[in-house]
Structure 1
């Protein structure tokens, strides 16, 4: 099998094209995972899955807006009976979709040392990454009765041969690329120069990349990819540029991004003609006390308020929700 390297920046001709009636759409993805201490070193055993029932409330909330969320599920969640109890009916009836999210440190087989470098699944030996993916995909299919068609590497940790694994397993869409972000300082991928627009990851057009949406805002935004990488050592300078409105990096997530900031990001993405806006957040944020972003009941109310504001604004701008199924039937192969 020829290598399929998702780490490479695609050529312009790889840009995906959608049917004329597709318009502009958005997708809500949920990194559906175990709870753990975000401030501590990664640990294979110190985690829980007590927030899974909170998915039911979020699912009902999305349905009230006609949104079909995509739950990207990792191994501890796939093994919990609470997951199909919370969202199984919605998945079966097409009101939600499930995909794969690989956290290698909690996904069997357990052959590697737990380190930050190995937390990026793409850094593992190919056969081990492949075995972990197969075990997780099969477990998700067993739990929900459907074959997942979309993937996100935990910690956005694609490797040079991850694409081969996805293609052989029938995955149609990858959404691991976090454009405008560079994780190479800790051994991960560098997505700084990857495009925001969906693109084909292989010449056969069998694997579509849907990058997570992150835009630059402010008068200096056209130079964002030049300026921002030099500011990682000086967070105070990043803050100053954001406060003065000169340059701000805005990922479409309720975690660490205010609704006001997200609205600016959405408007930029829409005005630039981005066909698919990709939103994301972590499922433990659906209950207080498990992520840095939602510590209290008030924080949780604010998270739901964030989504309510964004869904309303997207509707006003004529951007409709989409599902993985919608994407697969609307992207053209011409």
Structure 2
């Protein structure tokens, strides 16, 4: 039964719009394939049918392909969506050397290289889409204060590179809020005093509303000393503790609805779903199983969105519209 007084929430979908390749192999350095962008018109039509306004985080390989640009310009025409920036070091000029795992993360590059690549990406997006993107996301997640300062220099006022409850050998997003916040340049997972750039993380959480405690337990059972007991798997299958992602590549509709329930209990106001455009192409990435593609994505999104509509007063926004709303609320 739907609640009598529905909470007001914002819903946004961000799409990392990029080349496709075998994620288990080396990073592509040339001859980038962007066939997946052919799936964008159908995906956009699906979103429009639900009233959703996708935010397409476009990387250089896609922006450099005229046919892809035409498709995306049509998709976002008339305010139906938004173009944002996505930086993949391996396909974004200028090129410096073969990209390894280390160099694939923007935060590991010398800041001078990041600036040069960001300039070329921003200039390309401004030229082909006739708009200055406001929002940015690094490839492979992770952000630093120095990169945030560069974004401000180049006219961006939104970043979405924080992946809550995630840690990597090169960076951590542990401790970051799951809602929009102004990051501290000295420690980007903390709220700071600056107001030049807003962080809008994607939605990640647990099957219990106390995310902080759930994350503490999840981190503990992930420790190497306990792995012989397979505690994460036991916790998942017993439903004692599950980490969920508002991502139709990683999660079933049922699991995403579980996350939505937890977020509603927490009175969260921003529900930020995310995916890669390459997953719209059948069997093209490491996230989707063989035979899965655009049909799987939309079949998972629809029931989640409908559940949210049944239990909340939902306003669909682009990522810039979310930022503008949040700033007005903070004023």
Where on the TM-score scale, by shorter chain, does this alignment land: which range? 0.7 to 0.9
Question: Which structure 2 segments of 5+ residues have no match?
Answer: 1-6, 184-191
The Cα of 1:45 is off from its aligned counterpart by: 2.9
1:68 is the counterpart of 2:53: yes
Q: Name which of 163, 179, 185 aligns with 1:197.
A: 179
Task: Indicate whether 1:322 and 2:317 are aligned.
Answer: yes
Partner Cα separation in structure 2 for residue 196 and residue 132 of structure 1: 28
**Contact 2:279 2:293 (C-alpha < 8 Å) held by counterparts:** no
Tell whether the 8 Å contact from 2:135 to 2:320 is kept in structure 1 after alignment.
no
Alignment of 1:45-84 (within 5 A): 45=30, 47-84=32-69
Q: TM-score, normalization: structure 2?
A: 0.88
From 226, 232, 236, the counterpart of 2:216: 226
In 2, Cα distance between the equivalents of 1:194 and 1:72?
A: 21
Partner residue, 1:6 = none
| Aligned counterpart for 1:249 among listed residues 227, 234, 243 | 243
Q: Which residue is 1:163 aligned to?
A: 148
Note the 1:98-113 alignment, pairs <5 A: 98-113=83-98
| Deviations 1:221-254 (CA, angstroms, capped at 9, x unpaired) | 5522222224165394212101101111101101
Q: Is 2:104 the counterpart of 1:119?
A: yes
2:261 is the alignment partner of 1:264: no
| Equivalent residue in structure 2 for 1:209, among 199, 210, 214 | 199
Give the CA deviation at 1:99.
0.4
**Residues 17-51 of structure 1: CA deviation (Å, up to 9, x unaligned):** xxxxx931111000111001111132323641111
CA drift of 1:88 comes to 0.5
Moved more, 36-45 or 102-111: 36-45
Deviations 1:43-90 (A, max 9, x none): 323641111111111011101111100000111011011222212023
Cα distance 1:219–1:72, how it changes in 2: closer, same or farther (>3 A)? Answer: closer
Residue 291 in structure 1 maps to residue 285 in structure 2: yes
Q: 1:261 to 1:48 in 2, by over 3 A?
A: same
Secondary structure of 2:136's counterpart equals strand
Instruction: Determine if contact 1:66/1:321 at 8 Å carries over to the other structure.
Output: yes
Cα pair 2:39 2:294 within 8 Å, conserved: no
| Deviant stretches of 4+, over 6 Å | none
Shift of 1:289: 1.9
Separation in 2 of the partners of 1:220 and 1:96?
33
* SS of corresponding position for 1:303: helix
Is this contact kept in 1: 2:159–2:197, CA < 8 A?
Answer: yes
Are the aligned partners of 1:101 and 1:152 in contact in 2 as well (CA < 8 Å)? yes
What is the rounded CA distance, in whole Å, between the counterparts of 1:220 and 1:321 in structure 2? Answer: 26
Aligned to 2:186: none
5+ unaligned residues in a row in structure 1: which ranges? Answer: 1-21
Q: Alignment length, in residue pairs? A: 310
Match of 1:131 among 116, 127, 146: 116
Deviation at 1:118, TM superposition (A): 1.1
Determine the structure 1 residue equivalent to 2:234.
240
Q: Say if 1:126 and 1:298 are closer, same or farther in 2 by CA, change over 3 A.
A: closer
| Structure 1 position 113, deviation (Å) | 3.9
